[in-house]
Structure 1
Amino acid sequence: MPGPERNLLWIIVRNFVDSLRPRPIKGNSMGKDYLGNAYFEIPANPSVGKRKPTRWYDPPKQLDFQDPIPAEWEAWLRMRRTEPPTEEEIAKNLAIAQMKKINAAKLEAKRLAEGGSLPSVPERGAQSFPVYPDFQPGDPDNKQPNNK
């Protein structure tokens, strides 16, 4: 008679209970961004069949993944770049983004000072469809070739 270690039902129950226990995932810390997100990686291990690394991030507020992440880190997470971004690269790109915001505000102020108004947004619907003088829908004189 087989012992308790060979009982199939016992093995299934034990595996099910073990699957409910939280397992800590340990990865290598790859860095932090200016928003407070921490980035981690488990490297690839082809000897066990793992061809790609596993990458993820932990937001500063637990389970709050609504805030955007910097483009450099997103590229690293999605495997579009192999190396994580450096602090200098992130600082340079952040300075460029702030400079663009300042320049856009200056241009907008200049346009409004010259008497420009806010750009008009066309209405959506039937009126926003282009109207051509050569063709009016429903006009029997406009013969369209049959494309059969």
Structure 2
Amino acid sequence: MSNGEYRQVWRIVIRNFLNSLKPRQIQGNNIGKDYIGNVYYEIPADPSTGKRKPSRWYDPPKGLDFQDPIPAEWEAWLRMRRKEPPTEEEIAKNLAIAEMKKVNAAKIEEQRLIDGGSLPAPVEKGHESFPTYSEYHPGDPTNKYRNK
């Protein structure tokens, strides 16, 4: 490699490094908003420039800062599991189903308490939770299952 070509490579490296330090304004297309207040954006794919996949992200409402989980429909869209963003009707339908499940669970719990049901017994943990057999005694020297 001649000296002139070598300098050209370093010039490109330094220029790219300096450009990486500059703040970039990323502006995407506003795709939608959910009932929590998250706003979803997308920069579409552009194969002519080498960008094969779209970029997708969301901004939470002020003060929440990624605390609440996002709806499943929007998460599927963000993770590229679906091509089209969810519609308002789809979100409303799934939200109504979730509310109905909460109401039904409360009714079942209320009926269980009326019928005299109690809380389920706690599950034993540790070596006490393993089954015991009357014919097997690990410390017994006359045990026929003992290793010889």
Aligned to 1:84: 85
Deviation at 1:90, TM superposition (A): 0.2
Q: 1:72 to 1:137 in 2, by over 3 A?
A: farther
What is the alpha-carbon distance in structure 1 between the residues aligned to residue 64 and residue 109 of structure 2?
Answer: 38
Deviation at 1:111, TM superposition (A): 0.4
Aligned to 1:111: 112
* Alignment counterpart, residue 141 of structure 1, candidates 131, 136, 144: 144
> Which amino acid in the other structure matches residue 23 of structure 1?
R
Which segments of 5 or more consecutive residues in structure 2 lack a partner in the other structure? 1-7
Q: 1:94 to 1:132 in 2, by over 3 A?
A: farther
Q: Deviation digits for residues 12-64 of structure 1, max 9, x if unmatched?
A: 3x654543332111111110000000111111112222211111111113681
Stretch moving more, 14-23 or 75-84: 14-23
Number of matched pairs: 139
Q: Deviation digits for residues 91-123 of structure 1, max 9, x if unmatched?
A: 000000000000100110110011100112213
Which segments of 5 or more consecutive residues in structure 1 lack a partner in the other structure? 1-5
CA RMSD of aligned residues (A): 2.7
Aligned-partner SS, 2:108:
helix
Stretch moving more, 66-75 or 135-144: 135-144
Q: Note the 1:20-39 alignment, pairs <5 A.
A: 20-39=21-40
Q: 1:45 to 1:133 in 2, by over 3 A?
A: farther
Aligned to 2:72: 71
Aligned to 1:3: none
What is the alpha-carbon distance in structure 2 between the residues aligned to residue 137 and residue 45 of structure 1?
Answer: 69
Q: 1:62 to 1:137 in 2, by over 3 A?
A: same
The alignment-based identity, stated in percent, is 69
Q: What TM-score do the two structures reach when normalised by structure 2?
A: 0.79
Q: What TM-score do the two structures reach when normalised by structure 1?
A: 0.79
> Which amino acid in the other structure matches residue 32 of structure 1?
K
Aligned-partner SS, 1:41:
strand
Decide whether the 8 Å contact of 2:44 with 2:53 is kept in 1: yes
Deviation at 1:136, TM superposition (A): 4.4
